[in-house]
Amino acid sequence: MVHHNSSTGFYPHIISKGGCMEKKNKFSLAVQIFIALILAIIVGLLMQGSADVANDYIKPFGTIFLNLIKFIVGPIVLFSIMAGVVSMKDIKKVGSIGGLTVAYYLLTTAFAITIGLVFGNIFKGAFPALSTSGLSYEAAEPVSFMDTIVNIFPNNFVKPLLDANMLQVIIMALLLGFAVILIADVSPDANERIINDINDLNNVFMRVMEMILRLSPVGVFCLLCPVVAKNGPMILGSLAMVLLTAYICYAVHAVVVYSLAVKCIAGVSPLLFFRKMSPAMMFAFSSASSVGTLPINLECVSNLGASKEVSSFVLPLGATINMDGTAIYQGVCSIFIASCYGINLTMPQMLTIVLTATLASIGTAGVPGAGMVMLAMVLQSVGLPVEGIALVAGVDRIFDMGRTVLNITGDASCAVCISHINNRKK
């Protein structure tokens, strides 16, 4: 049993239950989610002839569950980052951890897009020659680099929470957390009171999160079943090779990059890491939302020994800016779209894709479908037809499920590694 510590922001109701409520239930949450996932696939395949029924009567319950997750994500990001910042009690320490975190995310994203391009070129000959006539895709207006920087900073206290703009929520949390730390120089008593209040509010929202997560198996089933019912035959169709290539890249990146990172930096067994991460990975697969998976990801990294002060800062940041799976998607789809148009990408173009996808990941929110926006930016950066997105748009959800798993797993590996580095400095 771990007791509440206001200086670290521990969540006793989570830790004392083994992270995923394993002692209260006959089956652990991971097993429940896995069973729901298998049932969703089976029922979805049986309902291929009546996909509309699944979409009209099963999906709405999944949407309700996802809405509940989205409802709690904003407060959790705000208060968990604030709790993480104030627990460090030193702005320089926050800067040090933040710098290491961003460097880790950018490095692994660059590796991911490179893996995507390498495997895309290896399997390029097996990609289907789909027709490019009559394609239409309405690309969003590209946002300039300076506009991206400006849009990170909020101009209203409530709007970022209403719009679920996680980058702006993170900036709010950092500013408020820094202010609380600085108050200690003026009024230590007030500082202690505010820290206790922040941790208390954080625990309240984590308790709400725990209640919502009890519905995870139902949510997973209702979200995944309609996707399988609608796309089952398409998976076996002309885009199967592109999907297979992307999923091979996801697996290679996870097994090689994350395994090496957690083993070499944190000394954690890769097998243990992936086993403890299985509930979050299965939830991410069905929901296709990095931000939506944040609450359960927080629980799983606790089981891996990551400190609360680090994970409550690193994971919300990663859910917003770390897009390894999405970066792989950019590489594979860029090669595929180029081959469909009979274009061979040059080495400078591939380097441009690596740079663009890595930087674009910082401004992309962790919500379903965000990869499509990034893909448009990447295609434009190397002069490929944006209309080509229509070739993969029909199965984007299937791409999204795998890339979200990789995104959140990367967040967790970062939290484990940075936590180990931080503990070693103490």
190-230 pLDDT, tens per residue?
A: 888 998 999 899 889 878 877 887 888 888 888 888 878 88
pLDDT tens readout for residues 261-312: 999 999 999 999 999 999 999 999 988 888 778 888 988 999 999 988 888 8
**So what's the pLDDT on residue 8?**
37
**So what's the pLDDT on residue 260?**
95
Q: What is the mean pLDDT of residues 41-62?
A: 88
- Sign of the torsion formed by the C-alpha atoms of 169, 171, 172 and 173: positive
Look over the chain and give the mean of its residue pLDDT values, rounded to a whole number. Answer: 81
pLDDT tens readout for residues 77-128: 788 888 888 887 778 888 888 889 989 998 999 899 999 999 999 988 878 7
pLDDT tens readout for residues 145-182: 677 678 778 999 998 888 777 778 888 988 998 999 99
Residues 6+ apart with CB under 8 A from 173: 77, 78, 79, 81, 82, 85, 316
Query: Does residue 331 register a pLDDT over 60?
Result: yes
Query: Does residue 15 register a pLDDT over 80?
Result: no
Residues 6+ apart with CB under 8 A from 136: 387, 390
**So what's the pLDDT on residue 200?**
92
Neighbours of 383 (CB within 10 A): 11
Query: DSSP 3-state assignment of 318?
Result: helix
Q: What is the mean pLDDT of residues 24-30?
A: 62
User: Which residue would you say has higher pLDDT here, 294 or 7?
Assistant: 294
Neighbours of 359 (CB within 10 A): 16
- Sign of the torsion formed by the C-alpha atoms of 399, 402, 405 and 407: negative
Query: Does residue 138 register a pLDDT over 80?
Result: no
Please state, in angstroms and rounded to a whole number, the distance separating the CA atoms of residues 201 and 176: 14
Tell me what percent of the residues of the chain surpass a pLDDT of 70.
83
Contact, 166 vs 365, CB < 8 A?
Answer: yes
- Tokens found for residue 306: 């990551």
Query: Does residue 45 register a pLDDT over 50?
Result: yes
Tell me which residue has tokens 């320089």: 92
Please state, in angstroms and rounded to a whole number, the distance separating the CA atoms of residues 6 and 8: 6
Lowest average pLDDT, out of 235-244, 292-301, 330-339, goes to: 235-244
- Sign of the torsion formed by the C-alpha atoms of 122, 126, 127 and 132: positive
Query: Does residue 25 register a pLDDT over 90?
Result: no
